[in-house]
A and B are shown apart, each in its own frame.
Chain A
């Protein structure tokens, strides 16, 4: 390989290494800060290596962990329920649009497409969901507004299906007496698993990370998702103690507040960081698929 350029290659390796380190360092700081002794934080601030190691922040959270566990539960519920129902809705919308025989296909496509171009904005959306549908302070306010499906996902799935569906296969199945639902279930879904996985993954990440719906529609702390709990704690660390009721002032005194803040953020990001190595391949494939088709 005499016309390969070793300098360029080495430069790439090193730059990417530096970039990767920059991507990881902030997490490192967060974890290290959560494992440092509170007094040491007051003396030295957050740092990359704990000067005095301590797990007291986690012990504290463990002792008063009800709020965190409930918030986790809510996040898991909306993620699982929202992803499953969103995926079904997207699939049922995308498949007929991938079939050229569907009546009024062009019109419906325009209907979806226009929804991607023009948006009413936040205030009218809020009024629809809060006033008209009365979803305020219900768990459905975390599931329904904005997240179930969108034109982009429907179009992405439709394009994938148009490329993978075999018309002959559908016709021969129908000659054998299979109805449309049967065709969808036994032919379309099995051939569409890659796109279902990608869109399911993107939807799940959206649900897990969503804090906006919670902030707009939820005021009851019992319905806070993990993101909303984290956000409240960032505004006011005493939220943890106040909300626990009894013996609040005593608890506040013992609380290593600077490290607890970091520890709870670690707990909030842990699920995604642990799961990431397992789904990263799909995640990257998904980004690339969106790019190529986009």
Chain B
């Protein structure tokens, strides 16, 4: 949810004409911003310069600045293995599924929410379906574990026998099931939340359109296809495009916690984020992980800029900048 609409007014673009600022009068306003400014400088800008470590041999004894430059060696290692291909493929494919199917499901849910006229029920439904979004990934990993645990899980001990399937499935070591599992978990956590976002957009449609349609005798279904969809689809396209700009970033908790970071699942569950993290925390190679991080930052940035350019051409108001 990073779509903040920047105002397109002139205030953003520094004026060519030299402006005389009244520093004396407005100094309190500038002083107020110091803590936030420093925080963003340290938290966001310093690491940006740090991406150069991808070109260094990281040596904690020597420190960051003193570590030796090794050129593209880290990248060579990364792209020589199949790791780079696997993590890129997984990150992008999961995102595509999550964005497209997730958006459709959220939108359908929002259409249903609009149908609920009983205020109390509406509020209850909204509260319940957005609740999973509130739960941390760690707790979520426990919820999934209760279903998938090889020894005690509900699936192995109750559901599979009920379906007449013999033998236990060792879920946490069988990579082939995880694309489905992770997609279901992502929907469970995100669809309700997403539907509230669309619900807000649907509420914004002027009631008069529906009034007029009703007088003309349009059925509820006709109203949806004739009024709601044409008005909301452009919004959805823009939102989807903006999400596509973040296609190089994965929801780290989903791929790390829910899979219990099981190495056997690497083939289908490793994403760029988990790869970088495992490299950092000792499960992999720090240099390669820095290279993967660099690759993510740069490609991610190019994607955001490109996508924004496309959105801007379509609808200037909705573009990020």
Q: Residues of A with Cβ closer than 8 Å to B?
A: 3-5, 8-9, 11-13, 15-16, 19-20, 22-24, 26-27, 29-30, 33, 41-42, 44-48, 88-90, 92-93, 95-97, 99-113, 115-128, 131-133, 144-146, 148-149, 151-152, 154-156, 159, 179-181, 184, 205, 208-212, 215-216, 227, 230-231, 234-235, 258, 261-262, 265, 268-269, 272, 276-277, 280-281, 283-284, 287-288, 290-294
Contacts and interface: CB of A to CB of B under 8 A. Distances in A.
B139 A122 contact: no
B45 interface: yes
B30 A103 contact: yes
Most A CB contacts (10 A, CB to CB) among B112, B253, B297 go to B112
A109 B220 CA distance: 45
A99 B137 CA distance: 39
A117 B303 CA distance: 10
Given A5-B221, A16-B112, A30-B146, A128 B47 contact: yes
A265 B165 CA distance: 30
Contacts, number: 330
A99 B260 contact: no
A42 B53 CA distance: 50
B47 to A, nearest CB: 3
A148 B43 contact: yes
30 contacts: A8-B220, A12-B116, A20-B128, A23-B129, A26-B144, A29-B146, A47-B154, A47-B158, A88-B35, A92-B35, A93-B32, A100-B11, A106-B14, A108-B33, A120-B297, A124-B53, A124-B293, A125-B43, A128-B42, A145-B43, A146-B43, A151-B4, A154-B36, A211-B253, A215-B281, A216-B280, A216-B281, A269-B136, A291-B201, A292-B200
A19 B195 CA distance: 12
B12 interface: yes
Contact of A122 (B15, B204, B280): B280
B293 A121 contact: yes
A143 B130 CA distance: 26
A120 B111 CA distance: 39
Interface in B193-234: 193, 196-201, 203-204, 214, 217-221
Nearest to B304: A117
A169 to B, nearest CB: 16
Contacts of B131: 23, 276, 280
B142 interface: yes
Interface in B130-167: 130-132, 134-139, 141-147, 149, 151-154, 156-158
Closest 5 CB pairs of A and B: A124-B50, A45-B157, A120-B47, A93-B36, A121-B293
Contact of A294 (B1, B11, B121, B153): B1
B79 interface: no
B35 A234 contact: no
Contacts of A111: 37, 40
Contacts of A291: 196-198, 200-201
Contacts of B221: 5, 8
A30 B36 contact: no
Nearest to B50: A124
A127 B53 contact: yes
Interface stretch (B18-26, B84-92, B94-102, B174-182): B18-26
